[in-house]
Amino acid sequence: MKNITTYRTAESVSPKHPDKLCDQISDAILDAYLEQDPNSRVAMEACGGHNQIFVVGEVTSQAKDVSIKDIVKRIAGDDIKITVNVVEQSPEIAQGVDTGGAGDQGIMIGYACSETPEMLPREVVLSRRLNQFIFAKHPYDGKTQVTLECDGGNWTLNSIVASFQNTSQKELNALVHAFIEQESLPGNPELHLNPAGDWNQGGFDADTGLTGRKLIVDNYGPRIPIGGGAFSGKDPSKVDRSAAYMARRVAVDYLQKRQAQEVFVRLAYAIGYAEPLERTVIIDGKPELIEGYDLTPRGIIKTLDLLRPIYEPTARYGHFGEGFGWDS
């Protein structure tokens, strides 16, 4: 039977992209509270653009001297108007979380595969690594996108898109070819480098950003379903963050123990209820019930040691495959 050619595409955005700046602001604020009070309850959102940043959220914490405006300035720059509106967490939400229940309902997806050392889809890894490669030379707003052409077990580069602020098409061309050579990547891809033309206005000067708006980049790329909840700005009592991290850990464990090719994990929770309503693992297409893990919010927090100021780095290039504690 003849192999059918398929295509796989993923994108990555740089840490200076407006949405990623907002993610970093939200997680930096979370870290500041956790550093002083590991039991802080934090839900922080940022929206920024055109010389203004709005920070809105809920915090219940014993921390005394967290300067949200200083954190925003460190990440977004000094010449910006900052509006902060932060209140205490709703007592009606707290009553369910204080007893060990989940901070919200939701579905969480975990994934791991054997096609890359990072245990992520190859197109996700390549788009991210290319972005990091360019960003190391040109640390500005930018995006990359990689399409692979797959034929049976073989793959080649089909096309590459790269758009970076303050970087000429000539410079991008040299960097992309250097990356292809460094990684020994097969194929002769069609290149689209600054396809709308070179550009110098980026970040908050050119566009608006919002916390949690790069969900596919934050997760596993467009081939893998997501539960729908964002991560950044949320303390680990919120299972849409902590249980997603645990789902990744479980997926990695099953991949390695079963020597599998691909593992999906599905967890589901109800607000105020500790035990998951679903705990499914699908190993190379075969579903099983997850056994041997404490999947309550408190169990997850203990297993992954999540009451620490560790979150700002997760907001830069994705929450999985970057060597975090839940990746192994």
Evaluate if residue 89 carries a pLDDT over 90: no
> What SS3 state is found at 125?
helix
Pull the structure tokens for residue 258.
Answer: 């079963």
Number of domains into which the chain is organized: 2
Q: What is the mean pLDDT of residues 270-296?
A: 97
Token pair, residue 324, equals 């975090």
186 and 251 share one domain: no
**What is the model's pLDDT at position 92?**
80
From residue 232, how far is each of 7, 40, 42, 310, 314 by CA, in Å? 30, 15, 10, 11, 8
**Does residue 179 sit within a domain?**
yes
Confidence of residue 81 (pLDDT cuts 50, 70, 90): very high
**Domain match, 247 and 296 both:** yes
Asked if residue 40 belongs to a domain, the reply is: no
Q: Which of 96-105, 264-273, 298-307 has the lowest mean pLDDT?
A: 96-105
Mean pLDDT across 14-24: 98
* 163 within a domain of the structure (yes/no): yes
Alpha-carbon span 267 to 290, nearest angstrom: 10
Please tell me whether residues 110 and 137 are part of one structural domain: no
Q: Are 259 and 110 members of one domain?
A: yes
Where among 202, 224, 257 does a domain terminate? 202
pLDDT band at 323 (very low <50, low <70, confident <90, very high): very high
Please, which pLDDT band fits residue 133 given cuts at 50, 70 and 90? Answer: very high
Q: Is residue 297 part of a domain?
A: yes
Query: Does 110 share its domain with 245?
Result: yes
The residues facing 281 across adjacent strands are 265, 288
If asked whether residues 323 and 243 sit together in one domain, one would say yes
1 pLDDT above the threshold of 80: no
Cα 152 off chain centre by:
30
Please report whether residue 63 resides in a domain.
no
pLDDT digits (tens, 9 = 90+) for 206-229: 999 999 999 999 999 999 999 989
What does DSSP assign to residue 139?
-
Q: Closest Cα partner for 267 from 230, 227, 325?
A: 227
Task: Please tell me whether residues 192 and 249 are part of one structural domain.
Answer: no
82 domain-assigned: no
Q: Does residue 2 surpass a pLDDT of 70? A: no
> For residue 142, which phi and psi values (nearest 5 degrees)?
-175, 165
Q: Are residues 302 and 250 in the same domain?
A: yes
Helical (H) or strand (E) element with 148: strand 142-151
The CATH number assigned to the domain holding 179 equals 3.30.300.10
- Same domain, residue pair 315 and 243: yes
- Domain-embedded: residue 96: no
Torsion sign, CA atoms 110, 211, 214, 322: negative
Q: What is the bridge-based pairing of β-strands 262-269 and 142-151?
A: unpaired
Query: pLDDT tens digits for 168-221?
Result: 999 999 999 999 999 999 999 999 999 999 999 999 999 999 999 999 999 999
Query: Are residues 152 and 110 part of one domain?
Result: no
Domain boundary among 202, 219, 249: 202
**245 and 320 both lie in a single domain:** yes
Q: Is residue 65 part of a domain?
A: no
* Residue 43 contacts residue 188 (beta carbons within 8 Å): no
Whole domain around residue 276: which residue ranges?
106-115+238-327
At 160 the pLDDT is 98
Let me know whether 276 and 302 are in one domain: yes
- For residues 56 and 50, give the distance between their C-alpha atoms in angstroms, rounded to a whole number: 18
The more confidently predicted of residues 2 and 285 is 285
